[in-house]
Structure 1
Amino acid sequence: MALPTTSLVPLLMLVVSSLQLMQASEGQMVPAVYVFGDSLVDVGNNNHLPVSLAKADFPHNGMDFPTNKPTGRFSNGKNAADWLADKLGLPTSPPYLAVKSKSPSSFITGVSFASGGAGIFDGSDQTLRQSIPMTKQMEYYQSVYQSLIQQMGSSAAQTHLTKSIFAIVIGSNDIFDYSNSSSARKQSTPPQAFAKLMATALKDHLKQLYLSGARKFVLAGVGPLGCSPRERLKDSANQDCDQDHNSLATLYNQQLKSTLQKLQSEFGKDFSYSYFDTFSMLYNMILNPAPYGFREVKAACCGLGDLRAMVPCIPISSYCSDRRDHVFWDMFHPTEAATQLLIDAFYDGPTGKYTFPTNIKQLIAV
């Protein structure tokens, strides 16, 4: 006697889910990468925000990207999300706003919620008018989570997410927002307290991701923001790094590392992570550029005015002829070349130097 059609549905879903998990391409290290963060890993979400001023969907951005066209990445070519995907043998996770109305299968190898201007806190993008803050990125992930369960079944979806990577690169815009705020705000919430608030807020998001399937976390600390071309302009005489920004970035990174250790203690072996000390490596590249293949560490490649940092990288801006010898592409973001070196170290660099407690390659094997 034939089985009722309804009784075949769970079986068919299980078969489909199993096939999807087995169809990993040769060299694919993990099933998927889910990306959260700001402009350092935005691969085009802001293209879909109508009033946002934080966009990079115009020249000269993307001039060294494989398509030689602007894509919404704040870079001359690939950004950190692209290089990470390359290392893991996956296509770059697509921007959520570009695929949210498509088939749930679009989420199988990952999706990116990252948005230029985004912060851990809502409102850090006030001067840019619109972004997708971390709270909204988390809402979008919950939608993806439910779609994966419906498509794959609860058990298969959990297995899929357990083996996947959750990459988070955020915090810079919160620091910029705080550093540029009124003295009254700083008196009521001094830098140490603000750094702790940032880490506490992110901790809540990480716990929510854990409760929704995430087990392997990749987190990058905030870089030396005060050494970006734009911040160097504050020192008209020497164009040195702004120490206020760098100090707050350091305070936050310390809080973040402590938070990750506490989460691992709370959840045990189920919570695994790789933290990257972006600040130290990028700062070393700036202080001693030659071994890394760089020549220019102060000026942006693309922009106008002093250090090419008085006007952003826009179509009328000038740009350097050799992007490979510049650390910074525009007034805030590193070049493709600098970003590739950072991800190389993050992926399989020696632990204890820039990666803690493991590098990404070791995290995958856990």
Structure 2
Amino acid sequence: MYMDMDRMRIGIKRWLVAFIVVAVAGLASRGVAQPQVPCYFVFGDSLVDNGNNNDIQSLARANYLPYGIDFPGGPTGRFSNGKTTVDVISELLGFDDYIPAYASARGQDILRGVNYASAAAGIRQETGQQLGARIDFAGQVNNYKNTVAQVVQILGDEASAADHLSKCIYSIGVGSNDYLNNYFMPLTYPTSRQFSPEQYADVLIQEYTEQLRNLYNYGARKFVLIGVGQIGCSPNALAQNSPDGKTCVDRINSANQLFNNKLRGLVDTFNSNSPDAHFIYIDAYGMFQDLIDNPSAFGFRVTNVGCCGVGRNNGQITCLPLQTPCEDRNEHLFWDAFHPTEAANVVVGRRSYRAQKPSDAYPYDISRLAQL
């Protein structure tokens, strides 16, 4: 009798210990959930810059209010009232904090990725030079090479670094400024006289391809190529070129689409010739078309004017320091004359991560890329 009771007590104790171990393990796993990829690297311009221009001699800076008015950290250098598309994507990928800017990334932080984007930067070296210092696409790739050397040092050898980097996602969103702050500024840049829109797109793609090869040679294997949005529908373009201030500028958008079509083709080329890598294309142009064509379906009411900053013809492109912005910014597609609001960035970021239409991503979306 007493022996049976002892055995029962021992059994109960063992069951309790096992239960507690399982319960604690479950809580721990939920508390420290791992992101879907170990790291996320970002290359681009002001649409995704999160502070790399803050301390350089540039007019293209956003580290002051009202920029960041709705961002938890206040003004950080993001050209929006809140989050950018890559902030949204990083959340969806499971990162518990935003990817740090190259200018401030230190130590172990670089193992989860770095944001190299720079406002006013383009594919071409001269793009955006009228705004002062900026880090062009080639310069951003060179900064990434410096990061790779640090990753090798932290992980101990090149093989470990290569394995780590091969699992990361590399997001590239450049090209907008090559039109906005180059080709369609004929008084400042000669490119529109040197190249037809078709030729110019070819030149950009050629230089873009060179940098993709550099990234591949330094460990990148999962690429997200983001198309140029509808620059011809930005408040700045409407203020300069639209007779009614609402009709998008076809000649600008047509040039953008030439570039996008070639960029989408580049995905096929690289996927065919790089069997150990994966390339996808994100149709930001088409997503913005949806927002402009049917704004109310996404909660937007104003699509042709920013919350602050209107356009060159009005003398104001970006938000002025401490300017009071509109109160209904969730109903505005654009924050200033060029850049979307957080509300718009959330829509584009979510559809980039998980496509809502077949055309959103090709051949598949970021959520699928993360699993490969």
Q: 1:108 is paired with a residue of what secondary structure?
A: helix
| Alpha-carbon distance in 1 for matches of 2:142, 2:256 | 27
The answer to whether the 8 Å contact 2:317/2:338 transfers is: no
Matched, 1:40 2:47: yes
Matched, 1:266 2:270: no
Q: Partner of 2:26 in structure 1? A: none
Distance 1:336 1:263, change over 3 A: same
Q: Partner of 1:76 in structure 2? A: 81
1:283 to 286, 289, 298: 289
1:160 to 153, 164, 168: 164
The answer to whether the 8 Å contact 1:57/1:73 transfers is: yes
- Cα deviation for residue 235 of structure 1 reads 3.5
2:243 to 216, 223, 237: 237
| Alpha-carbon distance in 2 for matches of 1:315, 1:53 | 12
The answer to whether the 8 Å contact 1:37/1:134 transfers is: yes
| Alpha-carbon distance in 2 for matches of 1:305, 1:334 | 14
| Alpha-carbon distance in 2 for matches of 1:235, 1:140 | 37
Q: Partner of 1:257 in structure 2? A: 264
Q: Partner of 2:253 in structure 1? A: 246
The answer to whether the 8 Å contact 1:179/1:244 transfers is: no
Give the structure-1-normalised TM-score. 0.88
Identity between Structure 1 and Structure 2 (%): 36
| Alpha-carbon distance in 1 for matches of 2:98, 2:288 | 23
- Cα deviation for residue 151 of structure 1 reads 1.6
- Cα deviation for residue 233 of structure 1 reads 0.8
| 4+ runs deviating over 6 angstroms | 305-309
Query: Please, which runs of 5 or more residues in structure 2 have no aligned partner?
Result: 1-28
Residue pairs, 1:188-207, within 5 angstroms: 188-207=194-213
More strand by share: 1
- Cα deviation for residue 154 of structure 1 reads 1.6
Q: Partner of 2:22 in structure 1? A: none
Q: Give a deviation string over 1:138-183, Cα, whole Å, max 9, x none.
A: 1111111111112212222111111110011110001121111259
Distance 1:306 1:199, change over 3 A: closer
Q: Partner of 2:133 in structure 1? A: 130
The answer to whether the 8 Å contact 2:49/2:118 transfers is: yes
| Alpha-carbon distance in 2 for matches of 1:349, 1:236 | 31
Query: Please, which runs of 5 or more residues in structure 1 have no aligned partner?
Result: 1-21
Q: 2:54 is paired with a residue of what secondary structure?
A: helix
The answer to whether the 8 Å contact 1:48/1:98 transfers is: no
| Alpha-carbon distance in 2 for matches of 1:338, 1:170 | 19
- Cα deviation for residue 309 of structure 1 reads 7.5
**Cα RMSD for the two superposed structures:** 2.1
Which stretch shifts more, 305-314 or 30-39?
305-314
Give the structure-2-normalised TM-score. 0.86
Residue pairs, 1:296-335, within 5 angstroms: 296-303=302-309, 310-315=316-321, 317-335=323-341
Distance 1:201 1:306, change over 3 A: closer
| Alpha-carbon distance in 1 for matches of 2:268, 2:306 | 36
The answer to whether the 8 Å contact 2:334/2:341 transfers is: yes
The answer to whether the 8 Å contact 2:236/2:312 transfers is: no
Q: Give a deviation string over 1:117-139, Cα, whole Å, max 9, x none.
A: 11011010112111110111111
1:147 to 147, 150, 157: 150
Distance 1:236 1:40, change over 3 A: closer
- Cα deviation for residue 350 of structure 1 reads 4.1
1:112 to 76, 91, 115: 115
| Bigger Rg over Cα | 2
